[in-house]
Structure 1
Amino acid sequence: MIKMNKYSATIRNLETDIGIEFNDKTILMMSIAHSSFVNENPHDINYSNERLEFLGDALLGAIIASELYTNYDEMDEGDLTELRASLVRAETLAEIAQEINLGKHLLLGQGEEQTGGRSRTSTLSRAFEAILGAIFLDQGYKKVNEFVSEIFQKRLNNSSTNLLQDPKSKLQELIQKEKKTAPVYQLVKETGPDHHKLFTVEVCVDEKIIGYGNGKRKLEAERNAAKDALKKFTH
């Protein structure tokens, strides 16, 4: 049971902000209904957005993975995984939710409202995923795919540019800013037959090991060692 008339203005404003007019308004209303609101208003709506969030999360992962696989054939599996993780993390989704003014449309219980739920990262990111689930149920995969592709395009371009920058160059820039010295790469192991060798490299700063990497070529191993070291600088 969902009482639509009471919230029709909220739904119309939300449709305007996301640029999609729904056929079934009840699905859209469900996507913005936090569990705290449902608990406090059982006569208005009896389902929260949690199931839609589950659906939207799966859709988002598939759409972003497809975009990356199709458009970034120069990236290996590790780079693709890293880029996808940066795009679908809660902080990124919350930023997008704020850009489309999702927070002001959320249906929240009093406690959630009073403790800052409209700007809380977890609440916003989950609501955004629920919106994706609602778009899919109302208008199909093609529409939600178009919506995600458009809204993520700028972030895809920026994130891929940063990731594709040579990790050895990025590491050297970071090290030289702090220590005025350059990282040193050392081959520590070489295994396998000539036609199928595996190289292991360590990268050091001031004789301290800061990363390891493996690769079929020395350069690949050095790049992977730089990536390993960069994780320690950026996390």
Structure 2
Amino acid sequence: MTWGALITADDGTQFITEESTPISLQGIYTGSGTGYVNLTIPIDTNDVVLPFCLATGNIVFSYSISGTTLSVAAHANSADTAQFTVTCYVFTTREQPLPKWGVAIWDKNGKCILTNETKVLTDIVTIGTKGGGDSGLNLSTTRNGKWAIVPELAGFYVGVYQQRPIQIAAGFTANYNGSTTAIKSVLVTQPPHDAQIGAPLDTKTIVRAIDVSRYD
């Protein structure tokens, strides 16, 4: 660093104003429905984008980015007809809006990267051990408080139904009941009746999560 400021977050993360742009909260987005809910969120194509999701049910999340749109999909298991609410906390490297008063910091290109109102993404927790017995389809934990996760695939179940191959995806849910959050793998679709299900294809993936009560 030839000039600027060195700022350290509570978890020890360092931001050098000449070289670093913090990933910070762009906004909180919600939607409700049964079966399937899709959130369409505007973003800047030049920004890094990272969504963290939770729901009031065993809901599987996925997301995609196309141009200036982030699409976050929330799928309930096909056997679950209860209404649910999904909430997505979107973090980006967008230029920060200027506060009415306080502190503002710009990078060397003139982009405002940090103000006294910026909610910087910190304290990301890794749940599970990649490739271990507590990953992928076998990952299951309950945490006190309100936690959201980055959408991730847990694996697949493959089998045969009416002499045709079938494949059922499983993803991770963050099911918040008002006091605790259950984080585990969930099937997107129930296997058809009388289907023959073979050995699962386990991705052995982990989950990245944050305590979103810090951002509400």
Structure 1 length normalisation: TM-score? 0.23
What TM-score, normalized by structure 2, do the two folds share?
A: 0.24
Quick check: which one's helix share is greater? 1
Looking at secondary structure, tell me which structure has more strand per residue: 2
Structure with max Cα Rg: 1
